[in-house]
Structure 1
């Protein structure tokens, strides 16, 4: 039995004549935290959306396998039942629901009420600001608070694979630190993670392995610690 939780082979995505992703291969093995880094517009978010079937009308080729089975034709809402969750770029919280209701939505595939209550208590302990504001509408939260909520909501489903799309975008340095602290803690608990992130340094410091994406192609892959020391990565993404 392969350790692959996610295997993407020959993925191509084209919007009309624009080729956003040009035949990439990547894989994430059980228990790994894999970072996909690259400049804005490299095709990283498109790749995540192709995996989850949430792209607008476009041409998609190649295969995406999750735990050995193809995701082709899977409705995105069925992925949560398959223990695959995504925190989208821009957070995507339910703005007209309270924090508590958002967390309950994250657990909609579960029916273990005691476990759900325990998980909500755990995330309130991890993110005390959410607890303080539990009855507040999610749309009134700051960007950082919404990011906390989006992550906690995704983790309420007990995912076996968590996809994170630009979790640090637009956040203050102290909030970025907190979010990455949680990402590392979730990874340490054995949750398999594919992290798309523009902050290459933080992503590679947290990850086991990394991929560099540029103009729709994977240009480099390897051990994350080695990539942090690679002169090409330093020059292009670490400002060194």
Structure 2
């Protein structure tokens, strides 16, 4: 881990019509960190990720977002991928009528190193053996957990320097949630910087280096993840204790 800032969000505000969904948040992610953004449903977490990637529907976005020292405003999604920023959206977003193998190839569409792409497919098949067993199967026929694995592997095929994960455990069986978090920790250990939005606050904070809490469009708390796990306010509001 270094002190070099990969992502800097400064005074971000997002409004849909008259509704202010994000009310001026500031956060940063340094190289090699796993940062988590936790909070209740409707706190503005997903809106924040979509503002970073420029994938929000008609709304007003103010503030400053910098990736790798340069502003992100006005860049298309494929340009973000070319610059090393990939996102696994909430709901997974796999190509349902393509096979697992074809989905992984789509993740590498900005690359032209065929041997490297083939090696990476084998690498992620090693991490997700279920996908290897079903590589010719249509992605739309997979379970929710398998689709989440595929969405993560597909994003990793682009060799991201910053990976944004939006609610990766949502709707999954507990055993699948454990597997997904095992992979998140493994990807982080490989030096890939991660910004994780997650409702399962306990697992997110156990995996992360630092955390931010969002409530009603504002960051209300931030700090070292292990410290936040012991904070009575976090325990009461998000860990079901106290």
TM-score range, shorter chain: over 0.9
- Structure 1 residue runs of 4 or more that deviate by more than 3 Å after TM superposition: none
Q: TM-score, normalised by structure 2?
A: 0.98
Partner of 2:13: 12
Aligned match of 2:206: 205
Other-structure match for 2:81: 80
Q: Specify every segment of 5 or more residues in structure 1 that has no aligned partner in the other structure, as ranges.
A: none
1:186 corresponding residue in structure 2? 187
Tell me what 1:232 maps to: 233
Distance in 2, Cα, partners of 1:53 & 1:2 = 26
Q: Which runs of 5+ in 2 are unaligned?
A: none
Match of 2:66 in 1: 65
SS at match of 1:25: strand
Equivalents in 2 of 1:131, 1:191: separation in Å? 23
Query: Counterpart of 1:165?
Result: 166
Counterpart residue number, 2:130: 129
Q: Secondary structure at the match of 1:10?
A: strand
2:187 & 2:54 partners in 1: Cα distance?
25
Q: Secondary structure at the match of 1:50?
A: helix
- Residue 23 of structure 1: how far off its partner (Å): 0.3
Distance in 1 between the 2:139 and 2:18 partners? 38
Partners of 1:28 and 1:207 lie apart in 2 by 12
What is the rounded CA distance, in whole Å, between the counterparts of 1:114 and 1:4 in structure 2?
32
Q: State TM-score, norm by structure 1.
A: 0.99
Q: Secondary structure at the match of 1:169?
A: coil
| Cα distance in 1, alignment partners of residues 127 and 225 from structure 2 | 27
| 2:94 aligned counterpart, secondary structure | coil
Aligned to 1:215: 216
Alignment size in residue pairs: 240
2:3/2:31 contact within 8 Å kept: no
- Measured in 2, the distance between the counterparts of 1:31 and 1:126 equals 20
Question: SS of 2:9's equivalent?
Answer: strand
d(CA) in 1 for partners of 2:15 and 2:63? 12
For the residue of structure 2 that corresponds to 1:9, the secondary structure is strand
CA distance in 2, matches of 1:82, 1:225: 31
- Taking the aligned partners of 2:118 and 2:78, their CA distance within structure 1 comes to 23
Query: What is the root-mean-square deviation of aligned Cα atoms in Å?
Result: 0.9
Deviation at 1:14, TM superposition (A): 0.2
The 2-side partners of 1:168 and 1:84 are apart by 21
